[in-house]
Amino acid sequence: MPEFPITERTRVRRIPKRAQYDKDTIYRILDEGLVCHVGFVEDHQPVVIPMNYARRDDALILHGATASRLLKYVQAGHPVCVTVTLLDGLVLARSVYHHSMNYRSVVVFGRGRLIEAEQEKLAALEVLTEHILQGRWRDARKPNRQELEATTVVSIAIEGASAKVRTGPPVDDEDDYQLAVWAGVLPIQQQALMPVSDPRLRKDIRVPPSISDYRRTR
């Protein structure tokens, strides 16, 4: 699998041995995540906004209200930074200093463009919907023209990216391994619980398998 070039912008400087630059690792993390944080600068003020997203090939898709200042910034072609983090566990060391977390994270740099053509816009919204729940685009009503006009959709080309991954047990100072303190990893996993039906749901409608069997890819 190809790698993103290592540049001054994408190079992982803190604990570089945890860095990964191959697209396979980066895209698997992006495809499992549900929430990204988009960083941009507005009037010399850094701003970071959480959003849902989806990946389509070598680009990220974002959407929101036409009044969104973030999407106006992105569609103007300004540079943005997008991050996604998956928490896998709390790493509990014998010393407070060496506590950590097991995680998989991605930092993406790129520039965006507005998706205007109706068919491309619908296709991008389908990607976003299917990223949330596979099969949902088929099951739910599609956007009407008024809803399409009220929605801005942008595509951010991934110009550079890097992943950073930590796995394994804590690493303590050698003298601390004899301390009478429990140490190890407390795994953390995002889990879908039993679906809760809308109180106004028709009584003859059952929960579809796409929801009852919901799993995030990994």
Q: How far apart are the C-alpha atoms of 10 and 162, rounded to whole Å?
A: 6
Confidence of residue 1 (pLDDT cuts 50, 70, 90): low
Structure tokens at 87: 């928490």
User: From CA 34, how far away is CA 207, in angstroms rounded?
Assistant: 22
Residue 179 in tokens: 């301390």
- Give the residue, 64 or 216, on which the prediction is more confident: 64
The number of angstroms, rounded, from the C-alpha of 143 to the middle of its chain's C-alpha atoms is 24
Residue range 154-192, pLDDT digits in tens: 999 999 999 999 999 999 999 999 999 999 999 999 889
**Structural domains of the chain, with CATH:** 16-172+180-212 (2.30.110.10)
The Cα–Cα gap between 193 and 87 comes to 18
Average pLDDT, the chain: 95
Non-local (6+) Cβ contacts of 109 within 8 A are 9, 10, 79, 80, 81, 82, 158, 159, 160, 161
pTM: 0.94
Provide the pLDDT for residue 151. 97
Phi-psi label, residue 15: left if phi above 0, alpha if psi -120 to 50, beta otherwise: left
Per residue in 18-45, pLDDT (tens digit) is 999 999 999 999 999 999 999 999 889 9
For residues 134-146, average pLDDT: 95
Structural contact between residues 167 and 88, judged by C-beta atoms closer than 8 angstroms: yes
Q: What are the distances in angstroms from CA 33 to CA 11, 54, 77, 133, 172?
A: 22, 9, 25, 12, 30
pLDDT of residue 216: 80
Question: What is the spatial distance between Cα 70 and Cα 49, in angstroms, rounded to a whole number?
Answer: 8
Measured CA to CA in angstroms, residue 19 lies from 1, 57, 206 at distances of 16, 22, 45
Q: How many CB atoms lie within 10 A of CB 70?
A: 21
Is residue 70 scored above 90 in pLDDT? yes
